[in-house]
């Protein structure tokens, strides 16, 4: 079978290679999945360049945490799935519910082998059924970005109808947050440097938008849009570079959901304003399988379809990394491994 790998010590796109490997055989408790589609997250850029937590990969590693496919065979003792089932991978392979924290060593795409291969074997505990109305390409976008947005808004944010959410940017997490928030009856404000992307966000249901290039003090625009009250949840994908502005946007007893590390460093972070308004900074690192299952129920009931910017074919997978890194995308970048 064909598979991609990050070569040991990977530092860039030249270290992303396609190789031939033996087709895996499921052991006890394992499921053999024929992969139909995978998708990229910003994390995958960091792993490829050697800038993710822990530095460069220590061995040749199959990329990507996110993927969807069809169960081809199951190992001894498997009860959760059968051949023919449509499934998606869980980012963490050993975090079924909220009873204990995840182990970073059990994340797909690094350090565990990921989904960018024609076939993979995973624990039956590290898979979920996918919503019936979604294609494999759509389902492949869910494991990291969608679960992260659900964790931020619903699992810890306890979002209610009539509340307001601020989404920074128009990448995968922010687009899922927009869709989840609208399904919950919330108002959504979106930021971007692109007026074209903001127009698309409004077409997807955003109630208000702010161009942060036109308005460098975008936090003041957000406060004006909320009559000075601030928002109930900030989907903070910028990280330390935007945190101070997000603190200012946060309303009374609101939550800043810390997700990303996209913006530049800022060594002068001041969370004092959160104390004055009873706000909180909540760390979000994807989520557990039970969150994924709840998310899928919401997606199915509400007929939500993920926002996919572009689909690349398996043989052109390196181009998907280049395209996502360019920042031209809105929503998710997908790689089709095998036609359904």
* Per-residue pLDDT tens digits for 72-128: 999 999 999 999 999 999 999 999 998 887 787 899 999 999 999 999 999 999 999
Mark residue 235 as left, alpha or beta (left: phi above 0; alpha: psi -120 to 50; beta: remaining).
Answer: beta
Count of structural domains, the chain:
2
pLDDT in tens, 180-223: 999 999 999 999 999 999 999 999 999 999 999 999 999 999 99
Domain of residue 85, CATH code: 3.90.180.10
H helix and E strand count, the chain: 10, 15
Closest CA to 84 of 97, 74, 76: 74
Beta bridge partners of 69: 35, 87
Q: Which two tokens stand for residue 299?
A: 């997606």
Residues 105 and 20 in one domain: yes
Residues 176 and 68 in one domain: no
Question: pTM of the prediction?
Answer: 0.96
Residues 138 and 10 in one domain: yes
Mean pLDDT of 277-296: 96
What is d(CA 141, CA 161) in angstroms, rounded to the nearest whole number? 26
285 pLDDT higher than 60: yes
What pLDDT score does 268 carry? 78
237: Cα separation from own chain's centroid: 11
Query: What does the DSSP 8-state code read for residue 104?
Result: G
What is d(CA 87, CA 11) in angstroms, rounded to the nearest whole number? 32
340: Cα separation from own chain's centroid: 23
Residues 57 and 137 in one domain: yes
Closest CA to 331 of 28, 52, 39: 39
Beta bridge partners of 189: 166, 208
Structural contact between residues 120 and 246, judged by C-beta atoms closer than 8 angstroms: no
pLDDT in tens, 171-184: 999 999 999 999 99
Beta bridge partners of 57: none
266 pLDDT higher than 60: no
The domain in which residue 209 lies consists of 157-283
Mark residue 205 as left, alpha or beta (left: phi above 0; alpha: psi -120 to 50; beta: remaining).
Answer: left
Residues 127 and 225 in one domain: no
């Amino acid at each position: 079978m064909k598979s991609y790998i990050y070569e040991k010590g990977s530092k860039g796109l030249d270290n992303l290679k396609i190789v031939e490997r033996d087709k895996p055989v499921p052991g006890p408790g394992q499921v053999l999945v024929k992969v139909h589609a995978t998708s990229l997250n910003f994390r995958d850029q960091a792993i490829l360049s050697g800038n993710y937590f822990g530095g460069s990969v220590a061995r040749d590693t199959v990329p990507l945490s996110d993927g969807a496919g069809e169960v081809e065979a199951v190992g001894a003792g498997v009860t959760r799935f059968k051949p023919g089932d449509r499934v998606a991978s869980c980012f963490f392979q050993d975090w079924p519910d909220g009873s204990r924290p995840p182990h970073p060593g059990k994340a797909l795409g690094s350090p565990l082998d990921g989904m960018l291969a024609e076939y993979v074997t995973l624990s039956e505990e590290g898979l979920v059924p996918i919503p019936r109305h979604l294609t494999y390409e759509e389902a492949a976008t869910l494991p990291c970005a969608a679960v992260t947005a659900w964790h931020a808004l619903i699992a810890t944010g306890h979002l209610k109808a009539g509340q307001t959410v601020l989404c920074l940017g128009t990448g995968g997490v922010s687009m899922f947050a927009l869709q989840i928030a609208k399904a919950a009856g919330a108002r959504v404000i979106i930021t971007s440097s692109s007026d074209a992307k903001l127009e698309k966000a409004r077409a997807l249901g955003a109630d208000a938008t702010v161009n942060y290039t036109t308005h460098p003090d975008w936090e003041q625009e957000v406060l004006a849009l909320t009559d000075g009250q601030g928002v109930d949840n900030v989907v903070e994908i910028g990280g330390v570079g935007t945190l101070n502005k997000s603190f200012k946007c946060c309303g009374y007893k609101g939550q800043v959901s810390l997700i990303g590390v996209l913006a530049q460093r800022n060594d002068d972070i001041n969370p004092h304003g959160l104390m004055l308004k009873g706000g909180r900074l909540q760390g979000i690192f994807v989520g557990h399988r039970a969150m994924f299952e709840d998310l899928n129920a919401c997606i199915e009931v509400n007929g939500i379809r993920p926002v996919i910017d572009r689909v690349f074919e398996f043989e052109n997978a390196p181009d998907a990394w280049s395209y996502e890194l360019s920042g031209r995308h809105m929503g998710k970048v997908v790689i089709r491994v095998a036609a359904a």
